[in-house]
Structure 1
Amino acid sequence: MTTSERQKPVFRFAPSPNGPLHLGHALSALLNRDMAEAEQARLLLRIEDIDQTRCTPEFEAGILRDLEWLDISWESPVRRQSEHFPEYQAALHELIERGLVYPAFLTRGEVKARVVAYEAAGESWPRDPDGTPHYPASDRERPADEWRDMLTSGKKHAWRLDMRKALDLIGELLFWTETGDGRTGEIAAEPDVWGDVILSRSDAPSSYHLSVVVDDALQGVTHVVRGLDLFHATSVHRLLQVLLGLPQPVYHHHRLILGADGRKLSKSQGDSGLGELRAQGMSGADIRRLVGL
């Protein structure tokens, strides 16, 4: 890479190959391309395939076909998260060594049972912006020797960020620069509303939160353009960036494409993929119009 290339702004489109791209992904990809061209910036493609159960080479091939059909080009090589697990593990290990994460042993079923019992008594269990209950404090409050014994026994566990300890260590308010379709300017981060977020689990060596901040730093990303559904997650990303000494990009969270029922489009709900629209005879220009560009 030349010096001039290193000095250019860097955008990235980062889909997960766990299903076909839909119109919401098209909006994000096209915005990244358009904004990168306006800034005379580099555009990267990152395949976020940490979930080795749901992500497949077939879906990745479909992503590449859809992007080429939309006339979107990117720099080579493509970064695949599945090829960079050691980098995420190194970041996690740093946080473990600093005592900022703890092993979490409760299963989803056990957490759900605790929440149900608690709320049956008329109390309200805290939930994150996605509506998921915060993880109970019991594992965080275990004595260290109990952690070690349980880890030595091979008991399945995840690693969770000790949010209170992390915020106490930072000791200052965090902000990010936002240029998107909602609030703009300097946005105050509120990572505590997420509780003790998961950074690694037994079936995946990294979480979205951890891998995305590591990737953005390693790839020199200066502008993150993604949907408004990830607006609140940026609070966690800013905290991790500060804890790991990573640079912060500028963020642009764009509007979402909604279905006829008013919900955002989703692969899991079977919303029409771009390949299906292409098979119906639509062109890339048609897709631009459909997403309001």
Structure 2
Amino acid sequence: MTNRQVFRFAPSPNGELHLGHALSACLNRRMADRSGGVMLLRMEDIDQARCTPAFERQIAEDLQWLGIGWDSPVRRQSEHFDAYRSALCRLDDMGLVYPASMSRREIREHVEAVEARGGHWPRDPDGQPHYPGLERDASKAERDVLTQSGRPYTLRLDMAQAVASAGGNLAWNELGSGPDGARVVLQADPASWGDVILARSDTPTSYHLSVVMDDAEQEITDVVRGQDLFHATAVHRLLQRLLDLPEPRYQHHALLLGPDGKKLSKTHRDRSIRAMREAGLSPRDVLDAMEDAPRSGGVETASVHLQE
């Protein structure tokens, strides 16, 4: 598989596929076909409370109905917790992980207090305040008290230490950002995210950690995903460097917008593939609706209709 380009479509089975998912799946399928490569299907189901086998089956049915196939086997993140746990232990052994217990409310109150005194508090590319990191310098004994207390906690990456450990020249290859869609090298700024979450007390991984491990394990050569994950690539490149994982190429495509002008989400049930099927639309009707939907951000893409 290493001699071919390997793409992947990686939905979370916690709701119905919508037109935005269809766009990403179509792009990955079409690019795999054009390159003579393969497209893999990954179920990002680390959230065991919301992800269900029923949604997974529905995703597979909707993709097949649209004429989008994939190469076996399907990877389920819930079946690989041990691998994520091992990667987390490796980062911990490097002194880059610490347990953190502040709730969202406590973070908000801390930040508001600083800003009320005229201070500036950094925010990540999604607009969320950086974690205060008050537990970052806690002793091992203090950390053990937290992790054994039964209180929910997260395991966070000490970003400053991680960036220092990774060294300089952290960048990624992005397709479509240069003249005529050429690939360009973009500098990564993982520090803009602050101390990101790598795991939780009840789940031994997070999106950031599992996605880089999965991409490496599945030998993904090309990551084609929505513009909403563009800035997260900086964190992924950092983790790839720290864990000695291969670097895939990236392309972040335009997002489809809903009637409210915001990116489609699973709350837009009328734009779900299942709802459109139930309304009597054909696969061609759905693909036409996908292409006609307003878009924002990312590389504009040509027609992604599959071969009939």
Same-fold call, TM > 0.5? yes
Please name the residue that 2:281 is paired with: 282
**Count of residue pairs the alignment pairs up:** 289
CA contact (8 A) 1:18 1:55 kept: yes
Cα distance in 2, alignment partners of residues 115 and 152 from structure 1: 27
Please name the residue that 2:63 is paired with: 67
AA in 2 matched with 1:125:
W
| Helix, strand or coil at the partner of 2:271 | coil
CA contact (8 A) 1:20 1:275 kept: yes
Structure 1 residue runs of 4 or more that deviate by more than 6 Å after TM superposition: none
Quick one: structure 1 residues 181 and 168, their matched pair in 2 at CA, closer, same or farther if it must change by over 3 Å?
A: closer
| Helix, strand or coil at the partner of 1:17 | coil
Please name the residue that 1:263 is paired with: 262
Cα distance in 1, alignment partners of residues 77 and 270 from structure 2: 25
Matched-pair identity in %: 55
Please name the residue that 2:306 is paired with: none
| Helix, strand or coil at the partner of 1:193 | helix
CA contact (8 A) 2:115 2:121 kept: yes
The equivalent position to 2:22 in structure 1, one of 22, 26, 33, is 26
CA contact (8 A) 2:42 2:75 kept: yes
Quick one: structure 1 residues 106 and 88, their matched pair in 2 at CA, closer, same or farther if it must change by over 3 Å?
A: same
CA contact (8 A) 2:100 2:133 kept: no
CA contact (8 A) 1:180 1:251 kept: no
Cα distance in 2, alignment partners of residues 260 and 66 from structure 1: 23
Give the superposition deviation at 1:271: 5.2
Residues 109-135 of structure 1: per-residue CA shift (max 9 Å, x gap): 211221222223333321111111110
Q: State how 1:40-189 maps to structure 2 within 5 Å.
A: 40-180=36-176, 184-189=183-188
Please name the residue that 2:297 is paired with: none
Quick one: structure 1 residues 21 and 181, their matched pair in 2 at CA, closer, same or farther if it must change by over 3 Å?
A: farther
Q: What TM-score do you get using the length of structure 2 for normalisation? A: 0.89
Cα distance in 1, alignment partners of residues 289 and 91 from structure 2: 44
Please name the residue that 1:252 is paired with: 251
Give the superposition deviation at 1:267: 1.0
Cα distance in 2, alignment partners of residues 193 and 97 from structure 1: 24
Q: In structure 1, list runs of 5 or more residues that go unmatched.
A: none
CA contact (8 A) 1:231 1:253 kept: yes
Q: What TM-score do you get using the length of structure 1 for normalisation? A: 0.94
AA in 2 matched with 1:245:
D
CA contact (8 A) 2:258 2:268 kept: no
Give the superposition deviation at 1:8: 1.3
What RMSD in Å do the two structures reach over aligned CA positions? 1.6
